[in-house]
Amino acid sequence: MLQEFRFDGTRILDLTQAATGAGLYADDKKALKAKTDGNLEKLAVLQEKLYADGHEGLIVVLQAMDAAGKDSTIKHVMTGMNPQGVRVHPFKAPNSAELKHDYLWRVAKCLPARGEIAIFNRSHYEDCVAVRVRHLENGLGLPGRCLTGDDFFVRRYRQIVDFEKYLYENGVRMVKIFLNVSEKEQKKRFLERLNNPEKNWKFSKSDLDDRALWDDFLKAYEDAINATATACAPWYVLPADNKWFTRYLVSEILVRTLEDMDPRYPVMPAELEEEIPELVARLENE
């Protein structure tokens, strides 16, 4: 089923046609929810193995329109994982110190060590989506030569592909997830937030400004995804109107990715293994 949502450069994404709901899979809701629970258990074991093995790191990028469920997806997949080996990094609008650097600088500071999982709540993709839609490139303080010539964003896509390939070739994998919520569902969730005192802190007026730019955002995401979908850092474009379905798919992606990474518990050195009976005896005879 995952194949349907995966983009690794072998086909083109048309985001206007991509599913936002569970569709026919809604009939399997009960079974898929049970599978999600099973996946979370598998994830706990796989993550522990990854940490113990310490050979490869993993980055999970989450991008989406507002209220698509990034935060709750993160909260959900984190259950069962050991906080020791997993870190979540939110990327907000860059502050003045970050703006004095190249855009991958703050991302580089959050790269996982081998054995760790880093979850990016937004990412370097903001630098070719939000910056493009809000026309921010001229205010980034870049020298003129960086703003002329080929298309600024086409250049950024190429830089990102190079960066992600570099990471892959150096023991860090990346999977990128776009939570595809519909305009209708976003409206519903915004209204729920506004009408609920426990949730309305999540609402910001600028969310409505971005909503007004819906088509521009969709196009910017589509272009960015098509330009950066590769076998070593694939995109998954997931329907996000039904949270149970999104959670199932995300859990499935993580399990499959970690299984593919095939982490193993380190084997005890033979000399030490030979000494096990002696060590046990020592402890027992204390």
Question: Which parts of this chain interact with ligand ATP (CB under 6 A)?
Answer: 66, 71, 91-94, 121-122, 126-127, 130-131, 136, 202, 204
The residue (of 13 and 136) whose beta carbon lies closer to ligand ATP is 136
The residue (of 221 and 235) whose beta carbon lies closer to ligand ATP is 221
Q: Largest Cα–Cα distance of the chain, in whole Å?
A: 76
Pair of tokens at residue 75: 């909260």
Best CA proximity match to 241, nearest among 197, 180, 194: 180
**Residue 235 Cα distances to 44, 56, 80, 100, 277, angstroms:** 23, 19, 24, 29, 50
Give the CB-nearest residue to ligand ATP: 126
The residue (of 51 and 203) whose beta carbon lies closer to Mg ion is 203
Residues 211 and 8: beta-carbon distance below 8 Å: no
Residues 11 and 18: beta-carbon distance below 8 Å: no
* Smallest distance, Mg ion to C-beta of residue 124, A: 18
The residue (of 66 and 222) whose beta carbon lies closer to ligand ATP is 66
* Smallest distance, Mg ion to C-beta of residue 177, A: 17
Bridge partners, residue 120, by sequence: 61, 89
The residue (of 66 and 164) whose beta carbon lies closer to Mg ion is 66
* Smallest distance, ligand ATP to C-beta of residue 91, A: 5
Rounded CA gap, 279 and 90, in Å? 46
What is the bridge-based pairing of β-strands 6-7 and 235-239? antiparallel
* Smallest distance, ligand ATP to C-beta of residue 7, A: 21
* Smallest distance, ligand ATP to C-beta of residue 104, A: 11
Count residues binding Mg ion (CB under 5 A).
1
The residue (of 121 and 230) whose beta carbon lies closer to Mg ion is 121
In this structure, which amino acid lies at residue 130?
A
Rounded CA gap, 167 and 82, in Å? 24
Give the CB-nearest residue to Mg ion: 66
SS3 at position 94: coil
Rounded CA gap, 207 and 161, in Å? 29
Q: Which does 130 bind (CB under 5 to 8 A by kind): ligand ATP, Mg ion, none?
A: ligand ATP
* Choices 63-71, 121-129, 130-138, 250-258 (CB under 5 A): range interacting with Mg ion: 63-71
The residue (of 116 and 127) whose beta carbon lies closer to ligand ATP is 127
Q: How many CB atoms lie within 10 A of CB 205?
A: 6
**Residue 214 Cα distances to 180, 186, 226, 281, angstroms:** 12, 11, 18, 68
Q: Which does 93 bind (CB under 5 to 8 A by kind): ligand ATP, Mg ion, none?
A: ligand ATP
Q: Which does 94 bind (CB under 5 to 8 A by kind): ligand ATP, Mg ion, none?
A: ligand ATP
66 part of the interface to Mg ion, by CB under 5 A: yes
Residues 198 and 134: beta-carbon distance below 8 Å: no
Q: Which residues of the shown chain bind Mg ion in the complex (CB under 5 A)?
A: 66
